[in-house]
Amino acid sequence: MPTLKLDERGLIPAIAQHAGTGQVLMLGWMSPGALKRTLEGGDAWFYSRSRSDLWHKGEVSGTYLRVQKVWADCDGDTLLLQVEPTGPQVCHTGQPSCFFTPVEAFPTFERPSVGPGILEDLFATIRERQRDMPPDSYTARLLKEGTARIAQKVIEEAGETALSAVQGQKDALAREAADLLYHLLVLLASAGLTPSVVWQELRARQR
C-alpha cells in the first residue's frame, strides 16, 4: 500500500478524470475520511475547505462520480480518480468539466483568505530581509542585532501576551500573540531553522 502525503491542513488534492474519455473533470480535496468513504462506497467523496466537512459529490447537482480506480502519483501527494459520472453536468456551473476557462495570457491572481499559510508567507518575507538586509527594515535591523536580542524580544512578547490573556483583553491578546509569533519566526531564521521543524514537533504531540 502506498504512503500518502497530506498538506498542512491534513488534505491531499484529488483529480477526477472521466474513465471512458480521459477528460479531466474536476479537482477536489480529500481528507483521510473522504478517501475511506470513497474506497468503501464507490462514489467520490471530498472535503470542503469552506465548510470544514465531508461532501458527497453529486448530493446537490445530482451528478455522482462512480469511482472505477484510484491512483497515487509518484510522490504520493496527489490522487487521480478515474470515474464514471452519472450525469452530464459535473461542474456546479452546469458544464461537463470544471476546466473550461482557457488561460491565454498572464492572469491576475487572488490571494487566499488569511489562514495558517500566512506564517509560511511571513517567514518567506523574513528570509528575504535576512538575505537582502534593507536598511529601512525592522526585521533586518533585528537580525543584525543577533540571536540574543531576538530572544529577548521573544521573552518580552511572551510576557505581554500572557498578561493580556490574564487581564481578559481579547483584542490586545490577538495583537500580542501576533507579535510573539512574528518574533518567534525571526528567531528561527536567526538560528538557521525553518517553521517545518516546529510543525514536525507539533505533529508528534498529536499522538
Instruction: Tell me, yes or no, whether 36 lies in a domain.
Output: yes
* Confidence band, pLDDT 50/70/90 cuts, at residue 2: confident
- Pick the closest to residue 11 from 49, 59, 44 (CA basis): 49
Backbone angles phi, psi at 45, to 5 degrees: -115, 145
199 and 122 part of one domain: yes
- Pick the closest to residue 185 from 129, 111, 114 (CA basis): 129
* Confidence band, pLDDT 50/70/90 cuts, at residue 121: confident
Instruction: Tell me, yes or no, whether 103 lies in a domain.
Output: no
Pairing relationship of beta strands 53-56 and 79-85 according to DSSP bridges = unpaired
16 and 68 part of one domain: yes
* Confidence band, pLDDT 50/70/90 cuts, at residue 191: very high
64 and 131 part of one domain: no
Instruction: Tell me, yes or no, whether 16 lies in a domain.
Output: yes
Domain range for 40: 12-85
17 and 80 part of one domain: yes
What cell was used for 139?
526585521
CATH classification of the domain holding 175: 1.10.287.1080
123 and 200 part of one domain: yes
Let me know the angle formed at the C-alpha of 120 by 116 and 124, rounded to the nearest 5 degrees. 155
Distances (CA, A) of 97 to 14, 23, 28: 15, 8, 13
- Count the domains in the chain: 2
Helix (H, G, I), strand (E, B) or coil at 172: helix
* Confidence band, pLDDT 50/70/90 cuts, at residue 37: very high
pLDDT tens-digit readout, 73-98: 999 999 999 999 999 999 989 999 99
Report the run of H or E that residue 40 belongs to, with start and end: helix 32-41
Helix (H, G, I), strand (E, B) or coil at 146: coil
pLDDT tens-digit readout, 98-115: 999 999 999 998 876 667
Which stretches does DSSP call E strand in the chain?
A: 12-18, 24-30, 45-48, 53-56, 65-72, 79-85
Q: How far apart are CA 56 and CA 38, in angstroms?
A: 9
How much of the chain exceeds pLDDT 90, in percent? Answer: 79
pLDDT at 207 over 70: no
Instruction: Tell me, yes or no, whether 45 lies in a domain.
Output: yes
CATH classification of the domain holding 72: 3.10.20.810
Query: Residue 110's Cα: distance from chain center in Å?
Result: 15
How confident is the prediction for the chain on average, in pLDDT?
A: 93
